[in-house]
Amino acid sequence: MRQAGTYSGILSGGISGKTGPHLLPLARIKKIMKKSGEDVKMISGESPIVFSKACELFIKELTQRSWMVTMQGKRRTLNKEDVASAVMATDLFDFLVNLVSESGNSGEAPPPLELDTFTSS
């Protein structure tokens, strides 16, 4: 029998313990996975859950890197050019280069930082 609060207490937390549930919709993740290729036939139940976490980490990393560009420009509003600059400056995000280029990066963004030295392992 479920104890009251066992789940609800955790659910009302969220990863920071401050905000409510932050989950990404698993069905949508699954849909995106299936559309990525014809070879993707079956997806285990845990896969969208792992991806949900992976996407969270990805969003946070790209946001952090983008914010560094924003700060370099002495601004407080993170804009799409900052995201594009962060992508260009990070080797790991090479797969996104074409995507952010298509967005019409004006080229007025500040020179890319050496963001790969940002993470320490």
Amino acid identity, position 72:
Q
Residue 65 CA to its chain's centroid (Å): 11
What length is written for the chain? 121
Binding mask 44-83 for another protein (x = CB under 8 A): xxxx-xxxxxxxxxxxxxxxx-xxx-x-----xxxxx-xx
Contact flag: residue 29 with another protein (CB under 8 A): yes
Binding mask 9-28 for another protein (x = CB under 8 A): -xx-xxxx--x-xxxxxx-x
CA distance 9 to 119: 33
At closest approach, how far in Å is the CB of 11 from another protein?
5
Q: Site residues for another protein, window 88-117 (CB under 8 A)?
A: 91-93, 95-96, 99-100, 102-104
Task: Check residue 79 and give left, alpha or beta (phi > 0: left; psi -120 to 50: alpha).
Answer: beta
